Amino acid sequence: MSGLRVIAGSLKGRRLHTPDWDGLRPTSDKLRETLFNVVAARVGEARVLDGFAGTGAIGIEALSRGAAQVTFVESDPRALRLIERNLQNCAVNDRYAIIRARFADAARRLQRGSFELIFLDPPYGPDVIVSSLEAAAPLVAPGGVLILEHARRDAAPDHAVSLAKTRDIMSGDSALTLYMPAVPDGGG
Domains of the chain, by residue range, sit at 4-181
CA distance 69 to 46: 7
Name the phi and psi angles at 82, rounded to 5: -65, -45
* CATH C-level class of 4-181: alpha beta
Q: Is the dihedral of CA 24, 75, 120, 34 positive or negative?
A: negative
3-state secondary structure of 42: helix
Q: Where are the alpha helices (DSSP H) in the chain?
A: 29-43, 57-64, 77-89, 103-109, 126-136
Instruction: Indicate the SS3 state at residue 15.
Output: strand
- pLDDT for 124 equals 77
Q: Which residues pair with residue 76 across a beta bridge?
A: none
The reported pTM is 0.92
Q: What is the pLDDT of residues 80-126, one digit of tens each?
A: 999 999 999 999 999 999 999 999 999 999 999 999 999 999 987 78
Tell me the C-alpha distance between 20 and 78, whole Å. Answer: 10
- pLDDT reported for residue 127: 83
Among the listed residues 72, 41, 38, the one whose alpha carbon sits nearest the alpha carbon of residue 178: 38
Q: Which of 150, 93, 43 is nearest to 84 (CA)?
A: 93
Rounded distance between C-alpha atoms, residue 92 and residue 132, angstroms: 28
pLDDT tens track, the chain, 188 positions: 357 889 999 999 999 988 887 766 677 778 888 999 999 999 999 999 999 999 999 999 999 999 999 999 999 999 999 999 999 999 999 999 999 999 999 999 999 999 999 999 998 778 889 999 999 999 999 999 999 999 999 989 999 889 999 999 998 889 999 999 987 654 44
Tell me the residue ranges of DSSP E strands in the chain.
4-5, 15-16, 47-51, 69-74, 96-100, 115-120, 140-151, 159-160, 163-171, 174-181
